Amino acid sequence: MGRYTVISADCHAGADLLDYRDYLEPAFRDEFDSWAAAYVNPFADLADADAERNWDSDRRNADLDIEGVAGEVIYPNTIPPFFPSSSLAAVPPETARELELRCAGLRAHNRWLADFCSLSPQRRAGVGQVMLQDLDHAVDEVKQIAALGLRGGVLLPGIPPGAGIPQLYAEHWEPLWVACAEAGVVINHHGGNAGPSPLDGWGSSFAIWVYETHWFAHRALWHLIFSGAMDRHPDLTVVFTEQGAGWIPATLDSLDVAAARYAREGSAIARFAGPTAGSLSLKPSEFWNRQCYVGASFMRPVECAERHTIGIDRIMWGSDYPHLEGTGTFTREALRYTFSGVPPQEVAAMLGGNAAAVYGFDLAALQPLADSIGPTVAEVAEPLTAVPAGASSTVFEPDPIRTW
């Protein structure tokens, strides 16, 4: 093993706004023209010259080649049709027509993404999107995501408080879990989309959002466990991406304690837990070990130190390309910073082997590319003695304690 086959489990892409038009059903195109003409992009990074990294296939592959990344799992980034902002963090629609339009916009994105992945099929696994405000649409689109060959699976949106639809633990969502299980798609839950909007006018609101956003994303883990969804559907695979990794050991310990209390016959707490949470066939930590993974974006050394407790076979490193907080143009340095001193077989699993197994990458097909661009085992093993000048990624921030 001279070089690692690196697969980023967290990258982002999307079409340039007007390029979505041809992917919409014809009935929505005139309304799209009016909407797009008046739309003002709220994100500076989607308006500058480097925004092309989201949709320029050759530019993207060239960037990833330099960083030594052979494969990528692609989450959304640009603005889909009829959304006020990124679909990951958009406020819920307020009217039935707005919901209909956004569903059409996500269908257009999924079609575009399938075409984009087809330009480099061995390297790309696209994650399709659904709208939970319309359960029938979500179920139908899960089937379409599978039919489109988006082997990244489905992005499970978060449900902020006050969203007007049931939380993920509700029996309401059983048709969605059935559809995902029958289609064999991975369920992905990405950080940053489950908490209340920070845009309430108060100066401290964004700081509060940043502090709390990971916790709101983590909630999906215990919602899917205590509702029995993972128990009823043992073949479901659930990935928790870009929400830290250091939170997992303590959370699993806490969930195991709670589950034991819920199952203790005659206990006071069991009377409130309900029959499902009190009769799980496995401990929460065992569901994690059987069905769950972490998309460990820009993983830090303090998180890597927890790898045996999290599960080396559960960790999938991610670069977060093309985001500022990701490893950016310093991916090779970031890998040295986090993984020097770690046995090569463990590094190989976390950097690519686990993602290949979860998302269906063909390692043999990627091998020639990895042999050409991948970081060498010796390179990653060399400790990084100084943070490179100009590196902005949060991976390099000093952090003596466990991260989120």
Instruction: Tell me, yes or no, whether 1 lies in a domain.
Output: no
Token digits of residue 250: 């303590």
Q: Residue 239's beta-bridge partner residues?
A: 188, 293
How far apart are the C-alpha atoms of 328 and 18, rounded to whole Å?
27
145 falls within a domain: yes
3-state DSSP percent of the chain in helix, strand and coil, to 5: 50, 10, 35
CB-based contacts of 270, cutoff 8 Å, min separation 6: 261, 262, 263, 264, 278
String of DSSP letters for 79-115: PPTT-SS-TTTPPPP-SHHHHHHHHHHHHHHHHHHHH
> Dihedral through CA 370, CA 372, CA 374, CA 377, nearest 10?
100
* CATH code, domain carrying 279: 3.20.20.140
* Tally of domains within the chain: 1
Residue 404 lies in a domain: no
pTM value surpassing 0.85: yes
Amino acid at 264: R
What six digits make up the tokens of 151? 């082997």
What are the pLDDT tens digits along the chain (404 aa)?
699 999 999 999 999 999 999 999 999 999 999 999 999 988 888 888 899 999 999 999 999 999 999 999 999 999 999 999 888 878 889 999 999 999 999 999 999 999 999 999 999 999 999 999 999 999 999 999 999 999 999 999 999 988 899 999 999 999 999 999 999 999 999 999 888 887 777 889 889 988 999 999 999 999 999 999 999 999 999 999 999 999 999 999 999 999 999 999 888 888 888 889 899 999 999 999 999 999 999 999 999 999 999 999 999 999 999 998 999 999 999 999 999 999 999 999 999 999 999 999 999 999 999 999 999 999 999 999 999 998 888 899 876 555 55
Contacts 24+ apart (CB under 8 A), 90-93: 91/197, 92/133, 92/160, 92/163, 92/164, 92/165, 93/133
Whether 403 is covered by a domain: the verdict is no
Cα–Cα dist 252/299, whole Å: 19
Domain-embedded: residue 401: no
Whether residue 305 lies inside any domain: the answer is: yes
| Domain that includes residue 169, residue range | 6-396
Is there a contact between 342 and 299 (Cβ–Cβ < 8 Å)?
A: no
169 Cβ contact list (under 8 Å, min separation 6)? 223, 224, 226, 227
Taking the alpha carbons of 158, 162, 168, 174 in that order, is the dihedral positive or negative? Answer: negative
Contacts of 387 (CB under 8 A, 6+ apart): 333, 337, 396
| Residue 402 lies inside a defined structural domain of this protein | no
